Structure 1
């Protein structure tokens, strides 16, 4: 019941490296969150970010969750994405990476600083993909709207390898072997990852999208009007149903 509860919670709201000598917790199939989610689950712990902190909550006992730790992250923290025992945290000044120790406590690994902007992030084995955008709540001094590609093969030293101009990028997701980036009212952009260090634009769908939750054959898209479910047939996205 605990696992089912967290699956439903994450889907509705949105989505081991030995860094400290004792990294051992892997992310499992408890739930799938979007790139703009503020919480993620690894093992028996729920990790939640607010504007300035990372909270770890022990959920091993579903009837009695316990606060385990608080970690200061600075200001403007927005999103969290869990992958391969790592927590990728997006904020208005950059991306931070934390590892997870055997007792569930997070430990700082590295960071990458960028221009002040709203900042979701997702990652795979070698690259982290970050969108930075201007907006009413993004504290920008200058207009900035880009897709950043960071080489994280050395997890302690992320390196920028590509910066791709966009209109107003928001959430992003891996789906069907490609990278999808929502641009709000400006649609949904699909990039080929044939060269993962430099995504190439493959398709632009006239589908408003703020964020995506990728499932096996379904892409759940969130936007201002609500949550919508799309199926993918070849390169075409077909509306299955709105989720109400």
Structure 2
């Protein structure tokens, strides 16, 4: 993979090997892979492999009656992955960082990876266990903090400095798309967005998305209609 940084065949083979790994080996892979994934965030095959490793970590939670230690360990690993993903996203708009010129072109892969992490965090740690849909979540203190942190990240990402409009506008658009994607899966998020961001900020977000991703805006209109 060092010779061909986009060698998807090698990554695909590694995905196949995951099912034969022990949890200890999976954790070692996740840690080692950070050194590669950090400066190669455009390598979608790499992040696909990383998601396969994360699914392996979450597998024990699918078994009825799984023990509390498995859930605690999975929670810790998924939280660390979310934090690491956030660090990479912040690097993508930090001009003082040496990787800025590379990262700001590639942050789309980071937002896509965050979708996976968000859905699985909700699925395994916030979802109503009597339901099979991700929308059926229970809003406890931890869930509120988690979603609140996501909104704070979105707000930071949607700030566009005047002197770097094009680069940061792309970041703001991806953050806006991610925000509307959240409301699609967790409709309750919209009221939290209204409370934390305010109506005017949301209007700006909708205007931005309307120009680039009108289909997402149509979905948001459906949410408004459902509330009436």
Q: TM-score range by the shorter chain?
A: under 0.3
Structure with higher strand content = 1
TM-score normalised per structure 1: 0.26
TM-score normalised per structure 2: 0.27
Structure with higher helix content = 2
